[in-house]
Amino acid sequence: MAQKAVVIFSGGMDSFTVLNVAHRQGKELYALSFDYGQRHRKELDYASRVCKNLGISHKIIDISAINELIGGSSLTSDMAVPEGHYAEESMKSTVVPNRNMILLSMAVGYAVSLGANQVFYGAHSGDHAIYPDCRPEFVERMNDVCAIANYEAVEIVTPFLHESKIAILKAGLALGLDYGQTWTCYNGRELACGACGACQERLEAFAHNGVTDPLQYEG
């Protein structure tokens, strides 16, 4: 019997790669996406199509009401998304307070209800400078908590925790993945902006791998 696992799947490059890695391992996957009021909720449409094509169970959970408590991020509030690289201080405005702890807690509860003992998510080294809840020490402590929070221990699995987006893309390309099926841009417009930190990091990864990004960009 295939091992059950939950994958937090945003519809972006990183979680798309993680989903496919787990799928290739023969696991029985349950993808979980969250509408937390992000302006780029367009990513959820991409996530839905990917799961349908792969025949993977997929739930999109509306938790947008939490913005009454944790506003102040440019991803969820009425403020401009900063342009520039993740290395820049301005990108801290894209932090959604405690987001991954909230999402992981719900994913772990879902895993327990399914009898699954793993939850995958796509944290990687490029996120470490800006996002505290993508850092190794956060994952380690979440793993400690998730081992004792229920009668059944659940492991938080982060295959690319110490890898860059460049390395993630390289791994996905080696699997023959089509990144035209993913959405990265923090602006939810018809085409990707090419200027926000998410777009710049994505374009940088494609350039380093010597491949053209199949996604269309403004201009």
Q: What is the pLDDT of residues 122-170, one digit of tens each?
A: 988 866 467 787 889 999 999 999 999 999 999 999 999 999 999 999 9
What residues contact 104, with CB distance under 8 A and at least 6 apart? 8, 119, 121, 142, 146, 156
Report whether 215 contacts 40 (CB < 8 A): no
Q: The dihedral of CA 36, 37, 42, 48: what is its sign?
A: positive
Query: How far apart, in whole angstroms, are the C-alpha atoms of residue 16 and residue 103?
Result: 17
CATH number of this structure's domain 4-208: 3.40.50.620
Query: How far apart, in whole angstroms, are the C-alpha atoms of residue 70 and residue 135?
Result: 20
Q: What is the pLDDT of residues 2-34, one digit of tens each?
A: 799 999 999 999 999 999 999 999 999 999 999
Residue 6's SS3 state is: strand
Q: What is the pLDDT of residues 93-109, one digit of tens each?
A: 555 677 888 899 999 99
Spatial CA neighbour of 123 closest among 149, 145, 144, 142: 142
Query: In the prediction, which pLDDT does 33 show?
Result: 97
Query: How far apart, in whole angstroms, are the C-alpha atoms of residue 132 and residue 190?
Result: 30
* Mean per-residue pLDDT over the chain, rounded: 88
pTM, entire model: 0.89
Confidence band for 65, pLDDT divided at 50, 70 and 90:
confident
- DSSP H helices, 40-177, are 42-54, 99-114, 136-146, 165-174
What residues contact 119, with CB distance under 8 A and at least 6 apart? 5, 6, 7, 8, 104, 107, 108, 111, 146, 154, 155, 156, 157
